[in-house]
């Protein structure tokens, strides 16, 4: 038998080259995976925790240690991926600084300058930072563990969560939320007075969630940035007004919005879309809106002061089998324009007035029933389209 040594030699060289080629590829893959693993390990290792060491200035690295009792190593340089814990009884001065995550377990007053937190701020103890500049939290602000958080300045945050705790917006200051607002457990988020601003400016859909045992109140409830769409099914109270900017929306698909103004108020200034579910007006001071609003539920007005709309339309829209109610007591109530949208049903036994040149507009199979009371319409005012009401109205 003849053996072709040239063919065998070619096969051996080819196999050797193939094996070497796969070895190189395998080595490259191993090196790449090792590099990625090294990066991952390095990132986790950098997430160190540092503890405050007394009543000191926040942005001085020597005032932070890797151990709560100071027995570890001092912070050498600020690392944005680290966590900084303000310990109990330590009152830190917030000089201008930028860092990642901050946990405040101190009950002292913290003097704030222009501070930016790239990550999360956790308020774990009652404290009252004094105003020295806006605190910007690019991550989330979390108030928990029964803390009472009463900052004196303005805060801008991504999302805000209050869990079994309280927070107050200072007089004339703003809490600007770019994400969602959540109140859980037994919590409260309130204004110091009617000049405190709760602002939503996320340029996206933002939700408000308030647990049954929690309470949300705003002085001025405001939207600014176009495409901001605030939605809720929860109860909330406003003690001055809604200010809704153009191309923004407030849409309550459940719950009750209660107006309880602490001074004369327009109640709402709407350049965008403002839609309530159930609406209660507790008027101890005159209310004078001049822009549009939509109500999907019941309208209840109590209190001795008057409601006088000087412009705009209040539109009722619903798809329920039983009519939604307009219930008026106390001071006089005057609509400018009142509209009942297609297919909607509204009933009342109350007395109210339609402004002299305005209308009740009941459209496309809608229904308006005045079962009692008086509805004066004077001058050029009118009731238009299909409706039903008892004789004598």
Model pLDDT for residues 39-77, shown as the tens digit of each residue:
333 333 456 898 988 876 676 788 889 999 999 999 888
pLDDT band at 95 (very low <50, low <70, confident <90, very high): low
Residue 263 DSSP code: S
Minimum mean pLDDT range among 102-116, 203-217, 318-332: 102-116
Minimum mean pLDDT range among 114-128, 144-158, 203-217, 269-283: 114-128
Minimum mean pLDDT range among 136-150, 166-180, 377-391: 377-391
Neighbours of 175 (CB within 10 A): 24
Best mean pLDDT range from 1-10, 110-119, 249-258: 249-258
| 263-268 mean pLDDT | 98
pLDDT at residue 113 is higher than 80? no
Question: Which token pair is 365?
Answer: 């199979």
pLDDT of residue 78: 74
Distance CA 78, CA 46 (A): 11
Q: What is the mean pLDDT of the chain?
A: 85
Question: Which token pair is 20?
Answer: 């070497």
pLDDT 10s digits, 4-33:
545 545 545 555 554 555 555 544 544 444
Question: Which token pair is 124?
Answer: 């774990």
pLDDT at residue 390 is higher than 70? no
Residues with Cβ within 8 Å of residue 143, at least 6 apart in sequence: 123, 149, 160, 161, 162, 163, 165, 166, 167, 187
Distance CA 271, CA 110 (A): 38
pLDDT of residue 101: 79
140, 160 in Cβ contact below 8 A? Answer: yes
Question: Which token pair is 60?
Answer: 């001085």
Burial (CB < 10 A; 0-12, 13-18, 19+), residue 38, is exposed
pLDDT of residue 43: 35
| 355-366 mean pLDDT | 84
Nearest to 152 by CA among 175, 164, 169: 169
- For residue 121, the cross-strand partners are 102, 141
Minimum mean pLDDT range among 7-11, 80-84, 242-246, 272-276: 7-11
**Pairing outcome for strands 64-65 and 49-52:** antiparallel
pLDDT at residue 160 is higher than 90? yes
Half-sphere exposure of 59 (CA within 13 A, CB side): 13
**In the chain, where does DSSP find H-type helix?**
5-46
More confident residue, 222 or 119: 222
pLDDT 10s digits, 303-357:
999 999 999 999 999 988 889 999 999 999 999 999 999 999 999 999 999 986 7
Residues of the chain with pLDDT > 90, as a percent, come to 58
pLDDT band at 157 (very low <50, low <70, confident <90, very high): very high
Residue 35 DSSP code: H
pLDDT at residue 369 is higher than 60? yes
| 213-222 mean pLDDT | 98
pLDDT of residue 392: 47
Question: Which token pair is 339?
Answer: 């509209």
Identify each DSSP E strand in 81-235 by its residue range: 83-86, 93-94, 97-99, 101-104, 111-112, 115-117, 121-123, 135-143, 148-149, 155-163, 166-169, 174-177, 181-184, 188-191, 197-200, 205-210, 215-223, 229-232
Burial (CB < 10 A; 0-12, 13-18, 19+), residue 102, is buried
Distance CA 30, CA 45 (A): 22
pLDDT of residue 61: 83
pLDDT band at 98 (very low <50, low <70, confident <90, very high): low
């Amino acid at each position: 038998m003849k053996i072709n040594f040239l063919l065998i030699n070619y096969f051996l060289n080819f196999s050797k080259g193939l094996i070497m080629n796969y070895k190189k590829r395998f080595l490259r893959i191993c090196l790449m995976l090792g590099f990625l693993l090294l990066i991952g390990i390095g990132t986790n290792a950098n997430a160190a925790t540092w503890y405050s060491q007394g009543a000191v200035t926040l942005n001085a690295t020597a005032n932070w240690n890797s151990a709560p009792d100071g027995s570890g190593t001092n912070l050498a340089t600020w690392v944005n991926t680290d966590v900084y814990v303000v310990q109990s009884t330590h009152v830190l001065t917030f000089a201008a600084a930028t860092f990642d995550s901050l946990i405040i377990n101190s009950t002292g007053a913290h003097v704030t300058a222009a501070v930016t937190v790239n990550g999360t701020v956790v308020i774990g103890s009652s404290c009252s930072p004094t105003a020295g500049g806006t605190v910007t939290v690019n991550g989330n602000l979390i108030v928990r563990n029964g803390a009472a958080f009463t900052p004196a300045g303005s805060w801008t945050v991504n999302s805000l969560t209050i869990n079994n705790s309280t927070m107050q917006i200072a007089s004339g200051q703003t809490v600007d939320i770019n994400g969602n607002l959540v109140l859980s457990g037994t919590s409260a988020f309130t204004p110091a007075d009617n000049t405190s601003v709760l602002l939503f400016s996320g340029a996206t859909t933002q939700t408000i969630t308030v647990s049954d045992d929690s309470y949300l109140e705003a002085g001025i409830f405001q939207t600014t940035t176009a495409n901001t769409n605030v939605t809720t099914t929860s109860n909330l109270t406003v003690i001055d007004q809604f200010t809704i900017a153009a191309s923004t929306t407030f849409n309550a698909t459940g719950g009750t919005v209660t107006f309880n103004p602490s001074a004369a108020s327009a109640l709402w200034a709407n350049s965008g879309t403002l839609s309530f579910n159930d609406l209660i007006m507790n008027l101890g001071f005159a209310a004078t809106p001049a822009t549009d609003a939509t109500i999907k539920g019941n309208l209840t007005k109590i209190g001795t002061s008057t409601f006088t709309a000087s412009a705009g339309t209040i539109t009722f829209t619903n798809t329920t089998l039983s009519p939604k109610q307009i219930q008026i007591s106390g001071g006089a109530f005057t609509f400018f324009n009142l509209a009942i949208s297609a297919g909607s049903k509204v009933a009342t036994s109350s007395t109210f007035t339609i402004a002299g040149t305005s209308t009740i507009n009941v459209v496309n199979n809608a229904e308006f029933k005045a079962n009692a009371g008086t509805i004066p319409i004077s001058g050029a005012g009118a009731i238009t389209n299909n409706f039903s009401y008892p004789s004598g109205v």
